[in-house]
Structure formats: structure tokens, C-alpha cells
């Protein structure tokens, strides 16, 4: 990897898939120790499963759109263009939204307060340690075209 290439990247705090995995493991561990429910038992599996399936669908759509536009996915790789197609025309972070939805869906499905709490932590770290840093990188790299995209398309929903 050249020095120039290593400088052309978002300086995120943690890679998002690793963050998701760590938060899920922490939530499952907390649930094993203190199994507190937060939704009616009859709703846990159907609502949780629906959230998981919807999140996986969003993830696949977003990844296919990004790869179809010739972009790499890892946050340590340079971004070469602003993708506005598919789910990126409705929200700027559909992959991260899918990660949050997946964790929320698992929390509901398992019906565990600890998983719900870890989902909140995951979202906060994702927002502060990843999304805001990526936005700073993209604004510095693309300038007004990215600022226009920010004005036209919501960050999350």
C-alpha cells in the first residue's frame, strides 16, 4: 500500500463489522448473566425475525449497489465516488442502518434487555466513531457535491 493511498481514507475509530460483532457478543453475554425481557413473549420471535430479515435484505441491496458502482466496502479503502443509487438515494448509511437493525432484531428475537442496551451502545459508537469521521473525510474529499448529497439525503432514515 502506498503512503498516498493510506492517507486517502476515513479515519474511523473501529471497523463497523467488528463493532457489530463486539456489541452482539457483549449483549449476549449480558443476557446470559441477566436474562431480562422487554417485549411480550408472543411478539419476540415474529417481530425480531422480521427485523433481522429486513436488515439482511437492506444490507444485501446496499452492498450490491456499492459494489455495482465500483466502490470498495472497507472503511480503510479510499472512496472514489458518491453513490446515490438504490438505498443510498434514501439514506446515506444503509449498511450501518442494516447493522443496527440486525442488532435490534436479534435483541427483540432473543428478548434481551442486555442486547437492546448493547444495540444502543453500538449505534452511538457507530455514529460518533464511524459516521461522523466518514462524513468529515467525504466532505474534505468531495466538497460541495458531498455537502449537496448531505442536504438532499438523510443520514439514517
Q: Which pLDDT score is estimated for 25?
A: 97
Q: Which pLDDT score is estimated for 28?
A: 97
pTM of the model: 0.91
Averaged pLDDT score across all residues of the chain: 94
Give percent of the chain with pLDDT exceeding 70: 96
Read off the pLDDT band of 111 (50, 70, 90).
very high
Is the pLDDT reported for residue 4 higher than 60?
Answer: no
All cell numbers assigned to 99: 447493522
Q: Which pLDDT score is estimated for 157?
A: 85
Q: What does 10-48 look like in DSSP terms, one character per residue?
A: ---SS-HHHHHHHHHHHHHHHHHHS----S-HHHHHHHH
**pLDDT digits 0-9 by tens, 121-143:** 999 999 999 999 999 999 999 99
**pLDDT digits 0-9 by tens, 47-93:** 999 999 999 999 999 999 999 999 988 888 899 999 999 999 999 99
Using CA atoms, how far apart are residues 10 and 18, in angstroms rounded to an integer? 16
User: Does 140 or 4 have the greater pLDDT score?
Assistant: 140
Q: Which pLDDT score is estimated for 72?
A: 87
Domain boundaries, the chain: 14-152
Angle, helix 113-125 to helix 94-110, in steps of 10 degrees: 170
Read off the pLDDT band of 8 (50, 70, 90).
confident
Amino acid at each position: 500500500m502506498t503512503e498516498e493511498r493510506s492517507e486517502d481514507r476515513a479515519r474511523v475509530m473501529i471497523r463497523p463489522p467488528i463493532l457489530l460483532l463486539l456489541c452482539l457478543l457483549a449483549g449476549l453475554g449480558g443476557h446470559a448473566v441477566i436474562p431480562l425481557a422487554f417485549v411480550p413473549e408472543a411478539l419476540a420471535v415474529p417481530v425480531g425475525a422480521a427485523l433481522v430479515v429486513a436488515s439482511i435484505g437492506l444490507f444485501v441491496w446496499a452492498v450490491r449497489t456499492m459494489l455495482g458502482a465500483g466502490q470498495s466496502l472497507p472503511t480503510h479503502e479510499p472512496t472514489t465516488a458518491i453513490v446515490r443509487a438504490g438505498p443510498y438515494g434514501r439514506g446515506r448509511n444503509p449498511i450501518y442502518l442494516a447493522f443496527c437493525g440486525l442488532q435490534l432484531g436479534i435483541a427483540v428475537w432473543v428478548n434481551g434487555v442486555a442486547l437492546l442496551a448493547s444495540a444502543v451502545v453500538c449505534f452511538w459508537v457507530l455514529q460518533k466513531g464511524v459516521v461522523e469521521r466518514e462524513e468529515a473525510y467525504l466532505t474534505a474529499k468531495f466538497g460541495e457535491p458531498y455537502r449537496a448529497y448531505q442536504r438532499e439525503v438523510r443520514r439514517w432514515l
